[in-house]
Homo-oligomer: A and B are copies of this chain.
Amino acid sequence: MSTVQDSDMQNQSTATPLDAANIPLTERLFDALQRAIVEGEIPQGSKISEPELARQHGVSRGSLREAMARLEMRKLVERKPNLGARVVTLSYEQLIEIFQLREALEGMAARLAAQNMSEIEIEELQKLLDQHGEQIAEQHGQAYFQKQGDLDFHYRIVQGSKNKQLIELLCNDLYHLLRMYRYQFGMRSKRSQQAYEEHQYLINAISARDPEMAELLMRQHIRSSRRNVEAVFLEKL
């Protein structure tokens, strides 16, 4: 589960790719905490004690505080003056709101991708989807990998838009919050077959350089995905 990277992706990798040194402590801390929160290691709604968390990670409070300020901006933690910080509490309502956001943003991304993706990128995208198709055929229904696959697919289209603002927003800001929902709510799909087909239509539209159609299909695709979540949610009650 690694095609999509956790950290920022516009880093100009220096000579040594994996040198942890030189990268500021605050930044590594930020990434670590983000991951811990997203994956539920630090449970949602839990209070965060700065001294304790700093000690656990072996850093000073100052460094931790800087990381916290950034986590707050990404809406992964909430801070109140003199009262401290808490991990956000996820809600069904917020999830629906995020789907509405995605519908607008990824719709635009698909439109732009139809205009700006290179032929090679489109081919690669088709290959990726073909792989997904095989995986679905093999292990029918219980499509765990498909979940990540879906993410990869959407990720590439956003990249294909070539709009840096859009990329930044979806792949850095919103992405982690969305991933947090996936982790914590389970969110099994049970419509991988249908999603696969919708993805194929999307590629066709992009390949035909039809921005209008690409946007339409993407929006419909995300709406379907939202309805699925709504259905799963109602089931639970």
User: CA–CA, A67 to B72, complex, Å?
Assistant: 12
Task: Judge if A81 is at the interface, Cβ distance under 8 Å.
Answer: yes
Is there a chain B Cβ closer than 8 Å to A66's Cβ? yes
Q: Which of B27, B62, B98, B168 contacts A165 (CB 8 A)?
A: B98
Within 8 Å of chain B (Cβ to Cβ): is A101? Answer: yes
Chain B residue nearest to A12 in the complex (CB): B80
User: Is A216 at the interface (CB under 8 A from chain B)?
Assistant: no
Q: CA A35 – CA B11 in complex, angstroms? A: 28
Chain B CB count within 10 A is highest, among A27, A69, A107, for A69
Selecting from A18-26, A39-47, A201-209, the interface stretch reads A18-26
- Collect the chain B residues with CB atoms within 8 Å of residue A107's CB: 104
Contact of A105 among B67, B70, B104 (CB under 8 A): B104
Copies of this chain held together in the complex: 2
A108 touches B100 (CB 8 A): yes
Q: Which of A124-181 touch B at CB < 8 Å?
A: 163-166, 168-169
Secondary structure class of chain A's binding surface, majority of residues: helix
Query: 1/0 per position for A79-112, CB-CB distance to B under 8 A?
Result: 0011000000000001001101101110110001
Q: Contacts A22-B81, A81-B22, A105-B105 given; indicate if A163 touches B69 (C-beta within 8 A).
A: no
Q: Which residues of B contact A188 (CB under 8 A)?
A: none
Shortest beta-carbon distance from A8 to chain B in Å: 11
Residues of B within 8 A of A65 (CB): 62, 66
Once bound together, how far apart are the Cα atoms of A138 and B209, in whole Å? Answer: 47
A226 on interface, CB distance cutoff 8 Å? no
- Known contacts A104-B107, A108-B101, A112-B100; is A69 also within 8 Å of B26 by CB? yes
Residues of chain B within 8 A (CB-CB) of A26 are: 69
Contact of A103 among B100, B108, B169 (CB under 8 A): B108
Q: Residues of B contacting A24 with CB < 8 Å? A: 81
Q: Which residue of B lies closest to A98 (CB)?
A: B165
Contacts of A234 in B (CB 8 A): none
| CB-defined contacts of A105 to chain B, threshold 8 Å | 101, 104-105
**Taking the nearest CB of chain B, how far is it from the CB of A139, in angstroms?**
34
Given contacts A70-B69, A104-B104, contact A94 B23 (CB under 8 A): no
5 CB-based A-B contacts, threshold 8 Å: A22-B82, A65-B66, A70-B72, A94-B165, A97-B164
